[in-house]
Amino acid sequence: MSRIAYFGPRGTFTEQAARLLAAGEELVPVETVRLAMTAVREGEADAACVPIENSVEGVVPATLDALSEASPLVAVAETILPIHFSVLTRPGTAQIRTVASHPHALAQVREWLEANLPGVHTVASSSTSAAAVGVLEGDFDAAVCAPVANEHYHLEVLATEVADVTDAATRFLLVRRPGELPEPTGADRTSVVAAAANRTGTLAELLTELAGRGINLTRLDARPTRSNFGEYRFFIDFEGHVAEPRVLDALTALRRHCRTLRFLGSHPRADGTRNTIEAGFGNDDFVEAAVWADAVRKGDMA
Amino acid sequence: MSRIAYFGPRGTFTEQAARLLAAGEELVPVETVRLAMTAVREGEADAACVPIENSVEGVVPATLDALSEASPLVAVAETILPIHFSVLTRPGTAQIRTVASHPHALAQVREWLEANLPGVHTVASSSTSAAAVGVLEGDFDAAVCAPVANEHYHLEVLATEVADVTDAATRFLLVRRPGELPEPTGADRTSVVAAAANRTGTLAELLTELAGRGINLTRLDARPTRSNFGEYRFFIDFEGHVAEPRVLDALTALRRHCRTLRFLGSHPRADGTRNTIEAGFGNDDFVEAAVWADAVRKGDMA
């Protein structure tokens, strides 16, 4: 059985994602995103499950930073969870006067609380799980939690699928030490982080290398590097798999432009969206062009 | 006196920024970033003060989203605040057993608490100000707050400039309805939001227009649009002022590429960094080229 570190505590959405990405494995909650990855880097865990982006809040900066520091890790799988909550109470609670959760979660169910528990007093807790523990211990009457929380706390479920924004979702990654890559599926995502000088036009050059190969971006984030003022790290996600000739060709070109370029993985997309391949940009076009260029170099063709 | 809406509650870093950006004006706390901007859009306030990015947490998605919706608003000024906290107690508190704050603030002073108040029990609150109110009311022994909080609550200051990461900072904007622009200073920032089709190479095209005019990016964020799946909004900040010919020329070119392009303002940079102008990319070069092209069109030159 593998040992999978995840950003804890127990009973959160990240545990729920880890159960999907590593079903049947030993799941170990770790206090921060960085420490979950450290556990993998130091061999204490085989993989880590961490959140990477949320459709409302955007990217998770701690995950980007931890992916780009220390020794390389690669993403081998992803999953997307809809963010809706369960409201949990102690069995037999007659009236709900107080409801606790992390302030982020309370903000995401405010309208639901106004409509369904009017006048309830909201209390901030350090995590959604801590709110469930508080309910167990009698500190509050109800807790707003990830659905998986109740697998640990066995409270009464007052409501499920609670969310003011019904299409909010978070994407999670499973990362490992570098090794065998997942097979390409035709609906893949490749991620890199590029450190480049803060010079006019740097990012335009990188993106033009991808565009010139017909490769579609799926996400781009720029983060200042802490250590070197004026230097940026660009986190670039795009369609395709490094096993494809066109993606390998693009990575080779990016490598020339960047002070450092780190490969963060190629893996199937959770949403199943197929790679965009426009006319003249297929892998066979790249293979054919390479065969032609090789023949030219040998003097067999012109 | 102008009426300035800011993202409240009272006693937070955003109030502190509003005091710097609109000294002597009437400052009105508003519950969310979006509602602060709505107050300006509807004429209930003359300007709004909102956070735009933090050096640790990254961009503030709610601010980007609110800037790009409804009627246009433009940023006319910015300020950068170092994020360090004051620890406040009731006068005469002999021993500190509990310390409260928003979970984000508690996370940023965890090491300080371990070193200076070992064994203290931390309690989550809905905001840093709510923690100060809780101390006033005897719920907790100490609160971790923005320095400005004590102008409202008059507690005893146990410590100031408390922060585990000493260089964390947040940038704030003052936004108004469109009107007269601030004068260019040679150390300016211009911001736009571009909605473009999710087509391979779109972003590379936009950035190449800037790079080809020697214009340096200062920030780039891509956000999915909620209403139109597969369409992205690019928030692009770059050096310079729309009153400069090279910047005006770049904006004109961007306009052609985008489904919609919204101008979010040109204003002096809080960090005072002068605009990068490389040889051949000065405003005089753009003026001279336009004079030459005009003469060519008239048949006076070739």
What's B204's domain CATH number? 3.30.70.260
Q: Which of A153, A180, A207 is the last residue of a domain?
A: A180
Option in A125, A205, A220 nearest B203 (CB): A220
| Best residue in B56, B198, B200, B273 for a mutation probing chain A (most A CBs within 10 Å) | B200
Do B294 and B187 sit in the same domain of this protein? yes
Considering the domain architecture, whether residues B209 and B293 belong to the same structural domain is answered as: yes
Q: A6 and A57 share a domain?
A: yes
Among B131, B162, B193, the domain-final residue is B162
For residues B12 and B96, state if they share a domain.
Answer: no
Q: Which residues of B lie inside 8 Å of A (Cβ-Cβ)?
A: 55-59, 61, 102-103, 106, 122, 124-126, 130, 198, 200-201, 203-205, 207-208, 210-212, 214-217, 219-224, 276, 278
Confidence of residue A269 (pLDDT cuts 50, 70, 90): very high
Q: Are residues B291 and B195 in the same domain?
A: yes
Together in a domain, B41 and B174: yes
Contact assignment for B103 to A122 by CB distance below 8 Å:
no
User: Is B74 in the same domain as B101?
Assistant: no
With contact defined as beta carbons under 8 Å apart, do A21 and A79 qualify?
Answer: yes
φ, ψ of residue B180 to 5 degrees: the values are -60, 140
One domain, residues A149 and A296: no
pLDDT tens over chain B, length 302 residues: 999 999 999 999 999 999 999 999 999 999 999 999 999 999 999 999 999 998 877 888 889 999 999 999 999 999 999 999 999 999 999 999 999 999 889 988 999 999 999 999 999 888 899 999 999 999 999 999 999 999 999 999 999 999 998 888 999 999 999 999 999 999 999 999 998 777 788 899 999 999 999 999 999 998 877 655 556 789 999 999 999 999 999 999 999 888 889 999 999 999 999 999 989 999 999 999 999 989 989 989 88
pLDDT value, residue B101: 94
Write out pLDDT tens, residues A39-83. Answer: 999 999 999 999 999 887 788 888 999 999 999 999 999 999 999
Q: How far is B293 from chain A (nearest CA, A)?
A: 26
DSSP chain B: --EEEEESSTTSHHHHHHHHHTTTSEEEEESSHHHHHHHHHTTS-SEEEEEEEETTTEE-HHHHHHHHSSS--EEEEEEEEE--EEEEE-TT-----EEEE-HHHHHHTHHHHHHHSTTPEEEE-SSHHHHHHHHHTTS-SEEEE-GGGHHHH--EEEEEEE-SSTT-EEEEEEEESS-SPPPP-SSEEEEEEEEE---TTHHHHHHHHHHTTTPPEEEEEEEE-SSSTT-EEEEEEEES-TTSHHHHHHHHHHHHH-SEEEEEEEEE-TT-PPPP--TT-SHHHHHHHHHHHHHHHTTS--
Same domain, A173 and A254: no
Q: What is the pLDDT of residue A104?
A: 83
Prediction ipTM score: 0.80
pLDDT of residue B228: 55
* In a shared domain, residues A96 and A144: yes
For residue A276, list chain B residues with Cβ-Cβ distance below 8 A: 200
Q: Is the model's pLDDT at A248 over the cut of 70?
A: yes
Distance from CA of A300 to the nearest CA of B (A): 35
Range of A39's domain?
1-82+168-180
A148 CA: distance to closest CA in chain B (Å):
22
Which run of H or E residues covers position A99?
Answer: strand A98-101
pLDDT digits (tens, 9 = 90+) for A165-183: 888 899 999 999 999 999 9
Choice between B31 and A232, residue whose per-residue pLDDT is larger: B31
Residues A40, A172, single domain; the answer is yes
CA nearest to B16, candidates B270, B176, B54, B7: B7
pLDDT for residue B21:
98
Query: At CB < 8 Å, which residues of chain A contact B?
Result: 55-59, 61, 102-103, 106, 122, 124-127, 130, 198, 200-201, 203-205, 207-208, 210-212, 214-217, 219-224, 276, 278
Instruction: Judge if B204 and B298 occupy the same domain.
Output: yes
Nearest residue of B to residue A166, measured between CA atoms: B226
Mean pLDDT score across all residues of chain A? 92
Q: How far is A295 from chain B (nearest CA, A)?
A: 31
Here the CATH number for the domain that contains residue B38 is 3.40.190.10
Residue that finishes a domain, picked among B179, B212, B229: B179
Residue A154 to residue A149: CA distance in whole angstroms: 8
Q: Which of A102, A211, A278 lies at the smallest CB-CB distance from B204? A: A211
> Could you tell me the two tokens for A13?
């959405």
Q: What's chain A's length in residues? A: 302
A58 with B58: Cβ contact below 8 A: yes
Number of domains in chain B: 3
- What's the pLDDT at B10? 93
